[in-house]
Amino acid sequence: MIYSLCFVLIAIGLYGVVVKKNIVKIVISLAIMEYGVNLFLILLGYRFKGEPPIMDQAADASLFVANAVDPLPQALVLTSIVISLGVLALMVALCIRLYERYGTFDITEMRRLKG
Amino acid sequence: MNGRSSREGMSVIVKTVTRWVEGFILLYGIYIVLYGHLTPGGGFAGGVIIACAFILLTLAEGQRVASKTLNPAVAAELDSVGALIFLGVAVAGLVVAQVFFKNIIATPEAAQFHLFSAGVILPCNIGIGIKVGVSLFLVFAMLSALHVTVRQDGKRDLVRRGKDES
Amino acid sequence: MIPLFVAIPLGMAFIIPMVSRKLTRAPDVLGNATMVCLTALALASIGRTGIYHMGGWETPIGIDLRLDGLSVLLLIAVNVVGLAATLFSVDYMRLYTSKFRYYSLFLFMVAGMNGVVLTGDMFNLFVFMEIASISSYALVAFGCEHEELEAAFKYTVLGSVASTFVLLAIAFMYGMTGTLNMAHVATKIASEGMSTPLMFALSLFLCGFGLKAALVPFHAWLPDAHPAAPAPISAMLSGVLIKAIGVYVLARLLFNVFGITDNLLQLLRWAGVLSMVVGGLLAIGQWDIKRLFAYSSISQVGYIVLGLGLGTPLGLVGGLYHLVNHSIFKSLLFLNAGAVEYATGERDMRKLGGLNKVMPLTGGTSLVGSMAIAGIPPFNGFWSKLIIVLACVQSGHYALAVTAVVMSLVTLSFQLKVQRYVFFGSVRAGLDRLQQIPGLMAAPMLILAVLCVGMAFLIITGMDTPLLIAPAADALAGGFFTL
């Protein structure tokens, strides 16, 4: 099944977040995880041999509804991409700042908070 | 690497090509924004292309030229303006028709599939286009210039999207 | 009227950075004015219910905003605590730079929380949740020092994983039911029952929102993130954020969308008791005031979830009442900690002492807060804990009742530790000549302390319940959403 590939992607991302020590790699893993979810959402609305969900003047409404791909997940994915863009920008900024302060990207060396 | 140019930025080849394509990229971005309701694209996609035009300028010509073209302070203002246009459309619906986000611009039947056919979607798309284009450029500019506080911008266009959903 | 709860703070958040380049006082004035407006709106919405169709689109096509008893309760908590926090920020945020960014982010957070509480659409909920969380990530990192950045990074990573889980769950939900509207989903589940993918979606929701609510297996980020933020933000995060985007959404989904079952109730009770015990025990050993309060938040959220997990009407009332009370006294305590830090520059309890003589108002209000959170009569915390314990006994969970009482004593012990080391005793050298805290910092603490007593009076006289708590409990007990 093609859906399982999405879960492989999500699992790879989750593995990266949990195991990796380098904060930049953690950020990349998070991005991979989000792409997995986005891909899953897109696949949910996909229809094999469907039309793109854009109407033009020539289109017949009932035929269009019968054949077109579900546009809602695409809108959702667009929104969630924008959100993950925001998170990504924030996290990259945090990484840069952390590097300024600690001089390293290694998360095991950032241990001021304990208890 | 390049000994030719004493000024900042990349080589002459890159600069020349950039000068040629720059306008077309910008125009294409504006087209995508304006025709978002008729063809694939819309405020976000077009905004990204507009931002790419400025990012290309920054890469090719260096920060100084780019910030002369689009001053970051002005960009930050535009950033808010874009979001406020979007919110203004929503509030206009509330004021005119007593419903938040009500489509207050009627579409005549004959205008279907033409540019001015989608009521408030067009002004919304323009607002989003300005917002995304400017704020992506700002994210790029701030991440490349470390001393500026970065935390702000990623989050802002997200908020715009939040409203865009409806 | 309903969309104004989101539109006003969002609009102001964009206006503030525009005007503040010229007018330096503008962020303070506009930020506080916004929160006053929102508080007034929230108070005006008591007793109202209704569904608002955004853009005039009917339910399956457009997005709905739903206002019911539970939303009103949360709206009031969010906006009142928000008002207290902005009042406090006027002077406190002098310690930091770029105030307009702070207010802008703050209003984004408020807009996000109001949106989460009001929306009736799953994906819209996700978007608002992300607005609130991302601005809170940025606010935790606001100080840009070692600890803040480290805490913010941890918080951001865990928060993003939680959001990804939620999005995946929404994808499953949409795939199985073909709709994102909560009422539609609920009707579908009520008529067709749960399927395996929906169960999977439910467990993903539990993990995701459990992480946002800092229930115990997922609590690791909270004790780092909440103390690292500026004090008014800690008050907002601990006071309302974990409830609005954690506990509230969990309760909403479990009771109104997926339909509550005995197994789910048991799960909630276990999560509640675990959070209560672990958070309480870990709090005892802390020496940083704000960190201690952060652990105590985990423990108190445990009480709320335990009350909700009982599932009986009394349990729901107790849980929701404790939710409001906790948002009041925990924000009060964090503001107290902020005032102490403002005056002394110190958060370590071992280096403080005798502040009662120097800062009587902070000391007095923090005594009220401490006693309220520890459940000493006549303060509000006592009554809500009493209701929860009674509900435990009533539904036959004696062990839970005993645990709740014991953890209340543990809370008392570590709150007394705060009082003993920070406010009582002899004044430490160097602390005897402190600057007075400004009036605008004192006012919100006083208001919240009065509310601590006021909420108790309202519940004793029985005026509070029909207005606020009972409609909220009814909204939960009402079962599946209907159109």
* pLDDT given at position B157: 38
User: What is the reported pLDDT for A49?
Assistant: 74
Question: pLDDT at position C248, please?
Answer: 93
Enclosing domain of residue C340:
4-477
Which H or E run contains C214?
A: none
Q: Which of B80, B81, B100 sits opposite C55 (nearest CB)?
A: B100
> What span, in angstroms and rounded, lies between the C-alpha atoms of C137 and C158?
11
- φ, ψ of residue A106 to 5 degrees: the values are -85, 125
Whether B87 and C130 lie within 8 Å, measured CB to CB? no
The percent of residues above 70 in pLDDT, for chain A, comes to: 92
pLDDT, residue C273, reads 93
Asked if pLDDT for residue A51 goes beyond 80, the answer is no
Asked if A52 lies within 8 A of B40 by C-beta distance, the reply is yes
- A79 shares contact with chain B (CB less than 8 Å): yes
pLDDT value, residue B30: 92
Q: Contact A78/B44, CB-based, under 8 Å?
A: yes
> Which among B91, B152, B161 is the nearest to C127, CB-wise?
B161
Cis bond upstream, residue C378 (ω within 30): yes
pLDDT of residue A36: 93
Domains and CATH numbers, chain A: 2-50+59-109 (1.10.287.3510)
pLDDT recorded at residue B64 = 78
The whole-number mean pLDDT for each consecutive block of 10 residues of chain C, a chain of 483 residues, reads: 88 88 84 92 86 80 86 92 93 84 92 93 92 92 84 92 94 89 88 88 93 89 89 92 92 89 91 92 90 92 92 89 91 92 84 82 90 87 90 91 92 90 78 74 91 83 69 79 69
- In the prediction, which pLDDT does B1 show? 39
* B108/B75: higher pLDDT: B75
CA distance C316 to chain A (A): 33
Q: Report chain B's mean pLDDT, rounded to a whole number.
A: 76
B chain contacts of residue A78, beta-carbon cutoff 8 Å: 44
DSSP run (H or E) holding C181: none
Is B160 a residue whose pLDDT tops 60?
A: no
Neighbours of chain A (3+ CB pairs under 8 A): B, C
Chains adjacent to C (≥3 CB pairs closer than 8 angstroms): A, B
Distance CA B32, CA B45 (A): 7
Neighbouring-strand partners of residue A92: none
Q: Which pLDDT score, from 0 to 100, does residue A114 have?
A: 59
B111 has pLDDT over 70: no
| Residue A113 confidence (pLDDT) above 70 | no
Whether residue C383 lies inside any domain: the answer is yes
Contacts of B162 in chain A (CB under 8 A): 79
Record: contact B161-A93, CB cut-off 8 A: no
The answer to whether residue C432 sits within a structural domain is: yes
User: What pLDDT score does A52 carry?
Assistant: 75
Contact C146 A112 (CB under 8 A): yes
Residue type, B137: F
| Contact yes or no for C115 and B162 at CB 8 A | yes
Please check whether residue C118 lies inside any domain of the structure.
yes
| Token pair in block for residue C72 | 């009103």
Q: Is residue C482 part of a domain?
A: no
Q: Is the pLDDT of residue A109 over 90?
A: no
Q: In which residue are the tokens 């702000």 written?
A: B152
> Could you tell me if B156 and B139 are in contact, meaning their C-beta atoms sit under 8 angstroms apart?
no
pLDDT score recorded for residue B66: 78
Predicted pLDDT at C401: 92
* C181 beta partners: C121
Mean pLDDT of A44-71: 75
Is the residue at C43 inside a domain? yes
pLDDT higher for C254 or A64?
C254
Average pLDDT, integer, range A1-26: 90
Do the Cβ atoms of B166 and C62 come within 8 Å? yes
Q: List the single range of A63-67, B54-58, C303-307 with lowest mean pLDDT.
A: A63-67
Q: Is residue C483 part of a domain?
A: no
Q: Which chain C residues are Cβ-neighbours of A33 within 8 angstroms? A: 161, 164
Q: What local confidence, expressed as pLDDT, does residue B159 receive?
A: 38
Burial C272-292 (b: 16+ CB within 10 A, else e): bbbbbbbbbebbeebebbbbb
User: CB–CB of C164 and A73 under 8 A?
Assistant: no
- What domain count does chain C have? 1
What is the length of chain C? 483
Does residue A66 register a pLDDT over 50?
Answer: yes
User: How close does chain A come to C286, measured CA to CA in Å?
Assistant: 8
Q: Chain A closest CA to B64's CA: distance in Å?
A: 22
Rounded to whole angstroms, the Cα distance separating C463 from C443 reads: 26
Searching chain A, which residue's CA lies closest to the CA of residue C158? A17
For residue A115, the chain C residues in CB contact (below 8 A) are 223, 282, 285-286, 291
Distance from CA of A5 to the nearest CA of B (A): 27
CA C401 to chain centre: 24
By the 10 Å C-beta count (0-12 exposed, 13-18 middle, 19+ buried), A82 is classed as buried
Chain A interface residues (partner C, CB cutoff 8 A): 10, 14, 17, 23, 26, 30, 33-34, 37, 40-41, 44, 72-73, 76, 79-80, 83-84, 86-87, 90-91, 94-95, 97-98, 101-102, 110, 112-113, 115
Question: How much of chain B, in percent, has pLDDT values that exceed 90?
Answer: 13
